[in-house]
């Protein structure tokens, strides 16, 4: 079974700083997708960024970027110029790309607090 590990239960940084959230995963598959979701206090689950495992180039979405290291099975999220609205739970997730519909496997989450 696939597992996703987020080793930082909580992080706190000052506004405008850069912060990196770590995620590692364990799988024997070679084709898969990785995602980061944000969950603010409203409880909504919001897709932040996704990465295809076959792509070497790291995905970026505005202030959000990933550092994808396939050999190390690592998928960290970097948030640049952090804002108060970035305060949320962040979940890393994995999905097999070989067919089937068995959804995402999630990590336990990192609670990110942006201090003013």
Partner 1 sequence: NAGVTQTPKFQVLKTGQSMTLQCAQDMNHNSMYWYRQDPGMGLRLIYYSASEGTTDKGEVPNGYNVSRLNKREFSLRLESAAPSQTSVYFCASTQTAENSPLHFGNGTRLTVT
Q: Is 11 in the site for partner 1 (CB under 8 A)?
A: no
Q: Which residue has the tokens 């948030």?
A: 79
Q: To the nearest 10°, report the CA torsion of 5, 77, 88, 42.
A: -90
Measured from the CB atom, is 82 or 110 closer to partner 1? 110
CB of 93 to partner 1, least distance (A): 8
Which range of residues in 17-25, 57-65, 73-81, 96-104 is near partner 1 by CB under 8 A? 96-104
Which range of residues in 17-25, 42-50, 64-72, 80-88 is near partner 1 by CB under 8 A? 42-50
Distance CA 22, CA 67 (A): 9
Q: Is 99 in the site for partner 1 (CB under 8 A)?
A: yes
Decide: 15 and 115 in contact? Cβ < 8 Å. Answer: yes
Instruction: Give the gyration radius of the chain's Cα atoms.
Output: 14
Can you say how many angstroms the Cα of residue 92 is from the centroid of all Cα atoms in its chain?
A: 4
Q: Is 107 in the site for partner 1 (CB under 8 A)?
A: yes
Residues present in the chain in total: 116
List binders of partner 1 among 47-76 (CB under 8 A). Answer: 47, 50, 52
On the CB side of 116, CA atoms within 13 Å amount to 1
List binders of partner 1 among 75-94 (CB under 8 A). Answer: 91
Binding site for partner 1 (CB under 8 A): 4, 6, 9, 33, 35, 42-45, 47, 50, 52, 91, 95-109
């Amino acid at each position: 079974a696939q597992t996703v590990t987020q080793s930082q239960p909580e992080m706190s940084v000052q506004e405008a700083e850069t912060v990196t959230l770590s995620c590692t995963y364990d799988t024997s598959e070679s084709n898969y997708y990785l995602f980061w979701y944000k969950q603010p206090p409203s409880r909504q689950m919001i897709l932040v960024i996704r990465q295809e495992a076959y792509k070497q180039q790291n995905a970026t979405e505005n202030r959000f970027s990933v550092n994808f290291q396939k050999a190390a099975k690592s998928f960290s999220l970097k948030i640049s110029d952090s804002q108060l609205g970035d305060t949320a739970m962040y979940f890393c997730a994995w999905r097999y790309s070989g067919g089937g519909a068995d959804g995402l496997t999630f990590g336990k989450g990192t609670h990110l607090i942006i201090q003013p």
